Structure 1
Amino acid sequence: MSKVNTALEDNLLLRYSVIIAGMTIACIGINGFLRPAHLLSGGVPGASAAINYLTDINIGFLTFLINVPIFVLGFIYLEKDFCVTSLINMLLFSTLLGLTQDIGHFIPTKDILLQSIYGGILSGIGTGLVFRTKSSQGGTDIIAAILKFKKNIPMKDTTFGINIMIVSIGGILFGLDLALYTLIGMFISASAMNFVKDAMNYQKSVMVISKESDCIARDIMEILHRGVTFLDAEGAYTHDRKKLIYCIVSSNEIPKIKEIALKYDKKSFISVNDVSEVKGRGFKEKFL
């Protein structure tokens, strides 16, 4: 786990500073760029924005109201600690969303493409910062967690389904063109969120083939404190038998792996690949 993640978990003041900063950035994206263009964000804020367009009720208050029955179900089916933390975050987010409702008046651009792009970027960065602290803003996260617990439905599938419904509502209310721009904003938001959430914390699988496999493996275990697996390998052309080193490390440990391998064998064959998910000793399960 990276030093950034450790600091966020151990320091409560730093954690909530990042949460509030993330929520503020997300609110600027939603209220400053998306709502003025009649574009919807994902989840409960998107549903709240749709109702706000029709009723002019404060979007922060609507977000709070929609979350009330969701949290009632959450307290019934989910861990209480998770729900209490999410409830605090939801109240913070609803308040910030309400306070920034009219911020769009201070942002001069009226280009709908720019609004969908920058609204998506800001809302994604903000949400990613909140998720980086292993926190939730409630809403669809609670619904997705309940369905995962009760029906074993992946959380991403639930979130995707809810967002499709929101896009459909946007299409009915504002027409196909705005619904398509909403999709652009949602795609950009999801990409920005994943980038921020996983920044400096991507996992990589590494394979090393070398005549000095024992020395390389020893240093990986002693210096990086990572587990190493030996696999029997044989060259198809030379028929030379060697030990193939296989291990999974954080992306910021890759340079050290290369340094160790090349220190013992300048001709080491090194392969690095992306890993979407890791469970087991030495790795924490991804949050959301």
Structure 2
Amino acid sequence: MKKYTIRRIIFEYALITVASLILIIGVYFFKFPNHFSFGGVTGLAVVLSAVTSLSASTLNFVINMLLLVLGFVFLGKSFGIKTVYVSILTSVGLSVMEKIYPMSKPFTNEPVLELIFAIVLPALSSAILFNIGASGGGTDILAMILRKHTPINIGTALFLVDLSITIAACFIFDAQIGLCSICGLLAKSLVIDSAIENINLCKYFTIICDKPEPICEFIHKELMRSATIFKAEGTYAHQQKYVILTVMKRSQAVQLRNFIKMNQPMAFMMITNSSEIIGKGFRGLN
């Protein structure tokens, strides 16, 4: 169990590091140069960089460090180490990128194309982090403080903060940037939800067959999964059938489907998408 725990911790922090790097790429190369400001600390940094002499990367670092201090003051031990790690890694990463690869203008002359990357990459990063119980820091720290010390509806409060930042961008920058920022704000949560659902997507099989043993053996030995089996009766011919229930990842589902089609072509399969599988081998009960 100790070795398993260590491996799991290493895997989680490796995943957090990858997600943070994706966030850094999306923000530094696509969000900052185009002045897209659809909420969060990075959006606030973009807006403030337009009215101060500091760069967006520097402001992002300063704001995140201030929020970390507030987190330690108001949350104490309940302040997650993963959130601290992500906040420091992304803040330092953006500052380092500014030194080694300074950008004075966007990559392309296509703001809509760059807006897509500015939305999708950070949203994918957020989905990965949320999926393993971490967060991107920034305004998430404010959410944690509000949750603990006030009765304010956190979702509404954070949306109003993001909306205020986006509206400010409309006045500080030109109409094109303002409209792109509004589109980014509207699309951000949808992309995050879609990414989380696809990351967790599994296939739920309901298999009705005459000979369950070969199928169950394939599930156990080849796919390293388990299954539930029970007897049933067809309503038309009143013949005895067996129903197998099993859940697995998408790549395994293809193997199982092909095996059944080849070895028991008369078996009846119902395959359903599911992104909420809770239990051993999938998501923990906590």
Give TM-score scaled by structure 1 length: 0.71
Question: What is the distance in 1 between the residues matched to 2:76 and 2:239?
Answer: 54
Alignment of 1:191-202 (within 5 A): 202=201
Structure with higher Rg: it is 2
Q: What is the aligned partner in structure 2 of residue 207 from structure 1?
A: 206
Q: What is the aligned partner in structure 2 of residue 98 from structure 1?
A: 95
The verdict on how the C-alpha distance between 1:212 and 1:88 changes in structure 2, with shifts beyond 3 A counting, is same
- 1:174 alignment partner, one of 166, 170, 173: 170
Q: Amino acid of the residue matched to residue 161 of structure 2? A: M
SS in structure 1 at match of 2:33: helix
SS in structure 2 at match of 1:224: coil
Q: What is the aligned partner in structure 2 of residue 283 from structure 1?
A: 282
Q: Is the 8 A contact 1:220 1:260 kept in 2?
A: no
Q: Amino acid of the residue matched to residue 50 of structure 2? A: Y
CA offset at residue 254 of structure 1?
A: 0.6
Q: Is the 8 A contact 1:28 1:103 kept in 2?
A: no
SS in structure 2 at match of 1:270: strand
CA offset at residue 17 of structure 1?
A: 6.7
Question: What is the distance in 2 between the residues matched to 1:286 and 1:113?
Answer: 41
- 2:46 alignment partner, one of 44, 49, 59: 49
- Deviation digits for residues 90-119 of structure 1, max 9, x if unmatched? 122112223435844254423321221232
Alignment of 1:135-284 (within 5 A): 135-144=134-143, 162-163=158-159, 165-174=161-170, 178-185=177-184, 202-230=201-229, 233-262=232-261, 264-284=263-283
- 1:86 alignment partner, one of 83, 87, 93: 83
Question: What is the distance in 2 between the residues matched to 1:88 and 1:218?
Answer: 43
CA offset at residue 167 of structure 1?
A: 3.5
Among the aligned pairs, what percent are the same residue?
24
Q: Amino acid of the residue matched to residue 54 of structure 2? A: I
Q: Amino acid of the residue matched to residue 169 of structure 1? A: I
CA offset at residue 278 of structure 1?
A: 1.7
1:115 aligns with 2:114: yes
Q: Amino acid of the residue matched to residue 35 of structure 1? A: F
Q: How many residues align?
A: 278
Q: Amino acid of the residue matched to residue 170 of structure 1? A: T
The verdict on how the C-alpha distance between 1:21 and 1:204 changes in structure 2, with shifts beyond 3 A counting, is closer
Q: Give the superposed CA RMSD.
A: 4.4
Q: Is the 8 A contact 2:84 2:137 kept in 1?
A: yes
Q: Amino acid of the residue matched to residue 166 of structure 1? A: D
Q: Is the 8 A contact 1:44 1:63 kept in 2?
A: yes
The verdict on how the C-alpha distance between 1:276 and 1:24 changes in structure 2, with shifts beyond 3 A counting, is closer
Question: What is the distance in 1 between the residues matched to 2:200 and 2:22?
Answer: 22
Q: What is the aligned partner in structure 2 of residue 4 from structure 1?
A: none
SS in structure 2 at match of 1:109: coil
Give unmatched runs, 5+ long, in structure 2: none
Question: What is the distance in 2 between the residues matched to 1:124 and 1:286?
Answer: 25
Q: Amino acid of the residue matched to residue 111 of structure 2? A: I
- 2:60 alignment partner, one of 57, 60, 63: 63
CA offset at residue 247 of structure 1?
A: 1.5
- Deviation digits for residues 236-267 of structure 1, max 9, x if unmatched? 54454523211111112112322443454211
The verdict on how the C-alpha distance between 1:285 and 1:12 changes in structure 2, with shifts beyond 3 A counting, is closer
The verdict on how the C-alpha distance between 1:141 and 1:10 changes in structure 2, with shifts beyond 3 A counting, is farther
